Amino acid sequence: MASSKRLFATLTPKMTELGYMFFKNSMINEIGMYCKPLDNGLYLSLVLIDHRFENDVFTADFYCSRHTGYCNFFGVMKDSEHAIGTRVGDITTGRDFWWDKESTLSICDFAQSVEKAEGQFLKDFEYLYIPFIDQDINEIHKLEIIEKTTQIVNDNLIDESMTFTVNKEMNGIPIRWFHAAEIALTERWIKENIPLFAIKKGLLLHPLEEITKGKVMKNVIVDFASDAYRLSILKAVK
């Protein structure tokens, strides 16, 4: 079974040269992500993905927004299907392409492919999505909760006597970020009665069990906490 240690040891210095910062990520089939701030106030994320059946290869998706949370529990952004799941290989080779984790040559080729693909991705993104970015209600909701989470952390507004869903740090993110995200989400969805789910093309994007008896589910908390934490780091070094 191939390890990702060699991959990141070889790839991270090259991605750093391109302006990216590495963040751990442990969602299903995802092995890590690189993010960087752009001059227009947006953030470009590159999510590395394991093959479902072959552990020794990987690919990656670009994502661009005012945050780094490519998994949006409010639904898919308007007119941005092209942005979510845009593979590096699709841009550079015209087809889905996978790179070898154990091959230094393959990893270096991936880094070169990212550099080539980034410009085209951002050019397409600017034309197709940026005109809508500040009008998308799903994005507005998510940004508000991210900002609230960050405020709770910065102002130390966490009541430690409360019972929280996440009780240990994950992916190097301090526990206070998860507690703050749970508070922000609970206030927004439960107290203010903001709808939890978005409808896209007649389909409910996430099961109603995401909220049960007034408790926000763990995967939602992790998503928002991780996004708020990444943004705080990126803004600090911007």
What residue spans define the domains of the chain? Answer: 5-132, 137-237
More confident residue, 21 or 165: 21
Residue 232 vs residues 27, 28, 149, 225: alpha-carbon distances, Å: 20, 24, 11, 11
121 confidence band (pLDDT: 50, 70, 90): confident
pLDDT value of residue 90:
77
More confident residue, 151 or 142: 151
Q: How far apart are CA 177 and CA 154, in angstroms?
A: 10
Calculate the CA dihedral of residues 96, 84, 2, 95 and round it to 10 degrees: 10
Range 2-22 average pLDDT: 91
Contact yes or no for 35/43 (Cβ under 8 A): yes
Residue 220 predicted with pLDDT over 50 = yes
Residue 161 predicted with pLDDT over 90 = no
Structure tokens at 48: 């590395």
- pLDDT tens for each residue of 86-102: 777 777 776 778 999 99
| Beta carbons within 8 Å of 76's beta carbon, 6+ residues apart | 84, 138, 198, 200, 205
Report for 98-112, 128-142, 178-192: range of highest mean pLDDT: 98-112
192 confidence band (pLDDT: 50, 70, 90): low
Residue 20 predicted with pLDDT over 80 = yes
Structure tokens at 101: 């984790």
pLDDT value of residue 76:
41
Residue 224 predicted with pLDDT over 60 = yes
The rounded mean pLDDT for the chain is 80
What is the pTM assigned to this prediction? 0.83
| Beta carbons within 8 Å of 152's beta carbon, 6+ residues apart | 158, 180, 183, 184
Residue 233 predicted with pLDDT over 90 = yes
